[in-house]
Structures are given as structure tokens and as C-alpha cells.
Structure 1
Amino acid sequence: MEKITIAIDGYSSTGKSTIAKQLAKALGYVYVDTGAMYRAVTLFAMRNGFIDKHHKDVDALVNSLDKIILNFQYNDQLGFSEMYLNGENVEKEIRTMEVSQFVSPVAEIEAVRIKLVALQQKMGKAKGIVMDGRDIGTVVFPDAEVKIFMSASPEKRAYRRYKELLHKGEEVDYDEVLKNVQQRDAIDSSREFSPLRKAEDAIEFDNSDMGLKEQFERMYNFALRIIEKK
């Protein structure tokens, strides 16, 4: 059976990664979390003093991009690939609220997106891939056979993120998480280069009141119908 490319875009904390992992596992496809890549670059920028609450040194980060090596390594025990930055496993560190505060300002930098889009396109060249992010169906793989755009209310997404962070042991405030979600929405949707938007031929899923099981079944069956037509 011919393999296809599945592009999943949408707002932060809509559960894109969870669904994408499930789809990839069920189909025997490769899963790529592009958000992890932008988070890793953000972590690099933070560690090197290129970004904090008071400034963003775009030139310094851009001039250091050739020093950033990103790759995913599959973890058999976890059942998914983890993000490595210059040979270091940073999977846990990139998921913190601290990194979340700066990922959108870093991701809007044109040179950063150019570098990561090229890497993502290389990863998906052979198809048989499920990739999630902000611009997968519009920029990375505009010819993807399946395009899904996920959305939910900011309040629902903030609550999910809040619970997730609490489960990981972080001390967070719901209002702070909601503010971060809203700020990321604004930056992601209004940035000049590769903004977050729904591709014209994407299927939209508003999962504000939808459980994981229902989401997965609907998307999986939709993908199967496309694959069977190939």
C-alpha cells in the first residue's frame, strides 16, 4: 500500500502531538514533532543569553544557527522519539513553562524557520510520515495527502496544559498558562513569515468537547480512506 504524508497543524495545546503519535503508531509511520525542534532552538537561545524577558538578540541567534544540531532518537521504553540538541537529550527540559514563554518569539524568526523547514522536508522526503506543527500543511508539505487543522477554545487548551504541567511536577498558575496560550496564539497567527493558518484543503477538528478516543478514531478512519484511494 502506497504511503502518504499526514500534516497536522493547529494552535498550541490542542493535543496535536498526542494524536500524531497515535496515528503514526497505528499506521506504522514515522512521527515528527516539529514543535520540539523549535523548543530545542529556543532552549539553545536561552542557554546562550540570546533571549530572556527583557531582550531578544536575533542576530546573535541567527549567527549561531550552524552550531545547532537537532535529531530525534527513538526511546523503546517510552515508545516515541525524544529530542536531542547537540547530542544532549533535552526532551524534558524543552517542555517546561519557561521554554514555552519564549518559543513563539524564537519561532517567528525567518532564518530559524528556514533552517528547520529544510530539515523537516528532508525527514519527510520518503513519505510515510505524520508531522505536526504550525505550518506543515501550508509550507513544509503543501502537497500532503492528508491535512488536519486542530483547534479548541483558549480556556480548554490552557486547562489541559495546566494539568499536564502539574502532572510533571511543575508549580504553575492557571492564569499564567492561559496568558501564555493567548500570547502564543497572537504571535503564531500574526508573524510575517510562515504564520499559523488553516490550509484551504485541511479538515478542521475543534476538539474543545471531544475525547482522545473519538479524535483518534475520526482521524484514523479519515486517513485510511485517503490511503486506500492511492
Structure 2
Amino acid sequence: MIVALDGPAASGKGTLGRRLAQHFGLRHLDTGLLYRAVAYRIIADGGDLDDPATREAAARDLDPATLDPSLLRSSAMGEAASRVAADERVRAALLDVQREFAQRPPGAVIDGRDIGSVVCPDADVKIFVTASPEVRATRRWQELHASSADVSYEEVLDDIRRRDARDAQRAVAPLVPAQDAHLLDTTELDIETAFRAAVDLISAHR
């Protein structure tokens, strides 16, 4: 079984993805980490995030087994990832990695921006997770504040809005709900309520 979770930054899809995978005995892939890892590699090597050849080379050399989430979760890395993710050659280089992961038994929960629409259009269940920009910024700021990151709520909100606009307006695989996706708005939901709603959607399919 393949479950596709899509949605904007800080909508809660990553947390949901991990919990749903554990609940249903599936593997989990946060595809946002792939793009963050590409950006991290470029920055660590002193490369240019805006150079297409550098972006593509970093994406093709990426080994998903070496991902270290602790190095990739910062707000700055999220902004950098949003920039490289707009490159069609980067997305093409990572497409097979994501599809191969999804097809391996017993199945997977995969979260990202274009899973239901592009990566796994035949996914068994598609859920588009969203929330208001203000709520998402509050959640992200609380995460960063808990890790002692020196960033204001206003900066996080501005970052969320920039990334929303870039993700929605890019020419390749823009952030849009798949036509057959279930909408899960978590603006007024805590994680437990959102989790139960997602479980119910998947269980109904099974």
C-alpha cells in the first residue's frame, strides 16, 4: 500500500507521515529531506545554489541512506531546499529514488509537495494536509525555539509565505492537491485529532 501525503511547509504532514507509517507497518520517506540534502551538499561544498549544473550534480550524487535529519531541519535549509526544488533537473534526478522507495514491499507513506500528483499518481490513498500560514508559522517557530534557534515568529511567517508562493508558482510539479486527494485541514486540529482523521481515511480504503 502506498499513502501519499502532500501539503505546504509546517502543515504537519511529516509528523503524520512518521506516525502513520508506524501505525500501519509501512516505511516512511520525507521527500523534503532529499531536497534539503541537495541544498546542504551544495552549500557544504561552497557551490552556487542558483547554478543549474551544480544543482543537478548534487541531486544525482545523493545517497538517501546518508541523510542526517539533524543537519537538515533548520529554517535556512528549508529556504535553500525550496530554491533547488524548483529546478526540473533536480526533480527528475530524485524522481526514480522516490518511486523505487514507494514500490518496495510492504509499501510506504511518502510525504512531500507532489507525491499524489507526480511521484505516485496511482497511490492507494492521497491526503493533502494543510493549515493557515499563521498556524504553520507558529508550529515551526515553536520547533525552532525549542531547539534554541534565534529566529522570530515574523521571520518564520515570512519564510513560510515565500516558500508557499515559490512552491505553488514553480513551472514543474507545483504544489497542488491531486484531484482525488482527501483534504485534511489541521488549522484547528491537534496532532492526535489529525492523526485519527488520517487513520480513518486510510482504514476506509483498506
TM normalised by structure 1 equals 0.85
Larger-gyration structure (1/2): 1
State the partner residue of 1:47: 44
Q: What's 2:61 paired with?
A: 67
Partner of 2:69: helix, strand, or coil?
coil
- 1:178 partnered with 2:172: no
1:130 to 109, 132, 137: 109
User: Please, what is the CA RMSD of the aligned residues?
Assistant: 1.3
Aligned residues of 2:144 and 2:151 also touching (Cα < 8 A): yes
Determine if the alignment matches structure 1 residue 25 to structure 2 residue 4: no
Alpha-carbon distance, 1:145 to partner: 1.2
- Tell me the equivalent position of 1:194: 173
Q: What displacement does 1:49 show?
A: 2.7
Give the superposition deviation at 1:63.
3.6
> Which residue is equivalent to 1:96?
74
Give the secondary-structure state (helix, strand or coil) at the position aligned to 2:103: coil
Deviations 1:140-189 (A, max 9, x none): 11011100001111111001000000111211111111111000000101
Structure 2 residue matching 1:92: 3-state secondary structure: helix
Displacement after TM superposition at 1:190 (Å): 0.6
**Contact 2:48 2:54 (8 Å CA) reproduced:** no
Q: Is the 8 A contact 2:41 2:58 kept in 1?
A: no
Greater helix share, structure number:
2
**In 2 relative to 1, CA 64–160 (structure 1 residues): closer, same or farther, beyond 3 Å?**
closer
- 1:66: how far off? 3.5
CA distance in structure 1 between the aligned counterparts of 2:134 and 2:165, rounded to whole angstroms: 15
Deviation at 1:116, TM superposition (A): 1.2
Give per-residue Cα distances to partners, 1:200-223, cap 9 Å, x unaligned.
000001111111111111110111
Q: Is 1:112 aligned to residue 106 of structure 2? A: no
CA distance in 1 between partners of 2:75 and 2:88 (Å):
24
Q: Any stretches of 5+ residues in structure 1 without a counterpart?
A: 72-83
* Alpha carbons 1:50, 1:58 under 8 Å: kept: no
Displacement, 1:64?
Answer: 4.3
Normalised by the length of structure 2, the TM-score is 0.95
Separation in 2, partners of 1:144, 1:33: 16
> Amino acid of the residue matched to residue 28 of structure 1?
G
- Whether 2:31 is the aligned partner of 1:34: answer yes
Q: Percent identity?
A: 35
Moved over 6 A (4+): none
> Which residue in 2 is equivalent to 1:153?
132
Q: 3-state DSSP class of the match of 1:204?
A: strand
